[in-house]
Structure 1
């Protein structure tokens, strides 16, 4: 629904025209759902590839090139560091100009990066491609860009919108490992990377060019398509948090640093699990096809749980939802360590996937609820370099643990502990006081 004339004049002298239709069969269609569609595609082809497909490539690449698992894992870690640094640079730009150009540029560069991965022969080449082309592409197509956009277009339905948008990662987890394994068997891992790069170009670039836009006020609309603010305690809390934060005012709150610590702990094991879980299963005696199929259970449970996480986040306190998500992650890892046949392994990874299904949705809603949507890119980019340290260290620590101890058991036990600590810490995190400039 459009804004009243007096409100529209505050956001823009002349609202821009929407690029896609918003009226079907006599009914209005809120443009924000197009943004959800772009987020779905982008999350599937960015995090879906870097997080859920890399594990399938790990063994073929190490066996042909003679690298260790620590070598491959270090590439993942360096990529994470670079994306964290880039996140600082693009955060404020997201708030001011939106993410359309960033997403298109990220898709162009990222596609070249995946193709280039199939051409590496030396370890230094792999590191250059991962930290250059792949890292730049990942930040442009990644969670910071798409979820800041979603948080701008949705307030009341923020949980559901983000949950649906990031379901692309669950589809990727369900489909991409099996497809990548098939391509490796038929074409080899080098051609498989090339095919993935082309797929990024033909999916992300058109959708971002056509539909991605900054925020509803630019077009005379309100978040969620509302004509007037919707009353209600839960909604009022979110609307009240929509004030301007600078990096300085956010950095002076306990909330920011407690969230940094919480998500730093929670992210320690995430990248490591996604990279090393398939090798863990093949080391345990399962075939690569069986491991890829079991890994796909993350996608199955993620598809089932993401809408539920979205509904829960719109109805229940975000702290409790986050603690539950961390608890499921820790439980899933513990069950995997005790699974020695295929059926229990499927069930264990399904449990892990229930937690993974809430990772992005929970994190984005937590940040948006605590700090509002108007400065979300600024605040998120301030926190990102600090959380990067732990998330970057997880994969290389798991690779180091395997290379030196002969198994992943030590690393997996550490990850269980970090999820328990994160669950406790999020429950203790206070709501930040409004900055003085907002009064």
Structure 2
């Protein structure tokens, strides 16, 4: 592995850090903003949904037109755009202004963070892809853990408006210099290959062969494509819960410091969980990994709904980290395993919409559960059932996918 491979991973890691900082920090804004401006939590959460839904509609176009414009230009424009969006939110006073800000952010936030980061890992790593994907998400977890420690204190001391300005500055710092000095989209453009790629290049330069990959057109004709989409969609509901964890802990009666500690523990747990999930997935069958991740989610949801002990919750946060963080590592790997790398980015530009849709719907739903019942408990019990369903969707796609059939027919 060359120095350039490490630098490309670092470039992707900075993008994931920007995602985690901007995405997870917003959970700490829910209580102070709704309390000061008089919004309900479900109504306020819609601005987060508008952001992700806008990204959903933009993502397929990014998958098709990225080769024309290039990742560098996209990241420079998008980094500037999103940073200005957070500045807008810092001065918002009306609900519609938050909604407009959410749409503004959504146009570029997801395409220049998660999408580009996954693109870089797939372009630069053929071997150890699971480990690198796990390390990628772990870097985001590290950034999220730091934010969880300091953001509550920052908001208490300087207010939520300055909090948005802080996020704007951090987002700009992690994206614009990255595009100018660090990001290289394709290893072939500088005379290198993806790490572990020792085969003859095929169409897309990923070293695949026709028997090892499914075209975008073929993928859309399979039932596995749509079942996997449904599974990915449901798996994102855990991310919706993540947005409400600070409010949930605060509602139990914990201090701002205790809330920050619990949230930082789940983020720190994700650092460990993401690395282990990716590394284990490289060594054993993906089905087993999915079963373990689903079991962690089910157990943690049940205990989260039935305990209010700080010590118990502190321990539980590490289990929850596997349940929430696991799908973010596994999903891109499973998509590659089911359909192959040939048209991966076009396929991912569609399947990658699923977690965004799930997140956009689940955030307000978790808020609505609280608004109606005064607790998040009912939502946790419902999420247990959804976890069983999405785990079954992943396993079905892996066990009956077209790529596996092609390999079995060719004797591979």
Distance in 2 (alpha carbons) for counterparts of 1:104 and 1:153 = 21
* Cα 1:422/1:201, change in 2 over 3 Å: same
In structure 1, stretches of 5+ residues that fail to align are 1-27, 231-235
The CA distance in 2 between the partners of 1:211 and 1:398, in whole Å, is 38
Q: Residues of 2 paired with 1:435 and 1:93: CA distance?
A: 31
CA distance in 2, matches of 1:400, 1:277: 14
Give the conservation status (yes or no) of the 8 Å contact 1:107–1:140.
no
Aligned to 1:7: none
Whether 1:257 and 2:229 are equivalent positions in the alignment is: no
Residue of structure 1 aligned with 2:78, choices 106, 112, 129: 106
State the distance in 2 between where 1:288 and 1:175 align: 15
Going by fraction, where is helix more abundant, 1 or 2?
2
Paired residue for 1:307? 275
Instruction: After TM superposition, give the deviation of residue 433 of structure 1 in Å.
Output: 4.3
Deviation (angstroms), 1:204: 2.0
For the residues of structure 2 that align with 1:168 and 1:83, how far apart are their CA atoms? Answer: 23
Post-superposition Cα deviations, 1:374-407, rounded to whole Å, max 9, x if no partner, equal 4222101222445544332111111111111111
CA distance in 1, matches of 2:212, 2:191: 18
> How far has the Cα of 1:164 moved from its partner?
1.5
Counterpart for residue 10 of structure 1: none
Question: Please, what TM-score do these two structures have when normalized by structure 2?
Answer: 0.90
Query: Judging changes above 3 Å, is the alpha-carbon distance between structure 1 residues 423 and 218 closer, same or farther for their aligned structure 2 residues?
Result: same
In the alignment, is the contact (CA less than 8 A) between 1:30 and 1:224 conserved in 2? no
1:268 maps to what in 2? 237
One of 217, 224, 227 as aligned partner of 2:188: 217
Tell me the distance in 2 between the aligned counterparts of 1:245 and 1:135. Answer: 28
Q: Contact between 1:151 and 1:368, CA under 8 Å: does it hold in 2?
A: no
User: Aligned equivalents of 1:225 and 1:340: distance in 2?
Assistant: 48
1:431 to 393, 401, 405: 401
Moved more, 59-68 or 401-410: 401-410
In structure 1, the partner of 2:10 is: 37
Partner Cα separation in structure 1 for residue 376 and residue 300 of structure 2: 15
1:163 is the counterpart of 2:134: yes
Alpha-carbon distance change, 96 to 431 in structure 1, aligned in 2, over 3 angstroms: farther
**Alpha-carbon distance in 2 for matches of 1:207, 1:109:** 15
8 Å contact kept, 1:148–1:376: no
Q: Report the number of matched residues.
A: 400
Give the equivalent residue in structure 1 for 2:199: 229
Partner of residue 356, structure 1: 324
Alignment-derived partner of residue 406 in structure 1: 374
> Aligned partners of 1:330, 1:255: CA distance in 2, in Å?
24
| 1:92 CA displacement | 2.2
Which of 67, 73, 77 is equivalent to 2:49?
A: 77
Q: Which runs of 5+ in 2 are unaligned?
A: 201-205
Instruction: Look up the match of 2:341.
Output: 373
CA 1:351–1:95: 2 relative to 1, 3 Å: farther
Mapped partners of 2:186, 2:211: distance in 1: 17
Three-state SS of the structure 1 residue aligned to 2:199 is: coil
Cα pair 2:18 2:113 within 8 Å, conserved:
no
Cα distance in 2 for partners of 1:60, 1:138 equals: 24
**CA spacing shift, 1:170–1:241, aligned 2, 3 Å:** farther
1:129-144 matched pairs, under 5 angstroms = 129-132=101-104, 134-144=105-115
SS in 1 for 2:39: coil
1:17 maps to what in 2?
A: none
Deviation readout 1:78-98 (Å, 9 max, x if unpaired): 212111111111012346665
Could you tell me whether the CA contact under 8 Å between 2:60 and 2:349 is conserved in 1?
yes
Deviation at 1:163, TM superposition (A): 1.4
2: distance between equivalents of 1:266 and 1:401?
18
Distance in 2 between the 1:250 and 1:94 partners? 20
Supply the distance in 1 between the matched residues of 2:154 and 2:186 (Cα, whole angstroms).
Answer: 39
- Alpha-carbon deviation of 1:373? 2.7
- Contact 1:100–1:208, Cα closer than 8 Å, also in 2: yes
2:121 match: 150
Contact kept in structure 1, 2:213 and 2:403, CA below 8 Å: no
Once the two structures are superposed, residues 224-251 of structure 1 have per-residue CA deviations (whole angstroms, 9 ceiling, x without a partner) of 055x339xxxxx99877764623x3221
Structure 1 vs Structure 2 CA RMSD: 2.5
Q: Tell me the equivalent position of 1:47.
A: 20
CA contact (8 A) 1:320 1:427 kept: no
- 2:304 is the alignment partner of 1:333: no
- Between stretches 312-321 and 83-92, larger displacement belongs to 312-321
Instruction: Determine if contact 1:171/1:299 at 8 Å carries over to the other structure.
Output: yes
Matched position secondary structure for 1:164: helix
Task: Give, in angstroms, the shift of residue 356 of structure 1.
Answer: 2.8
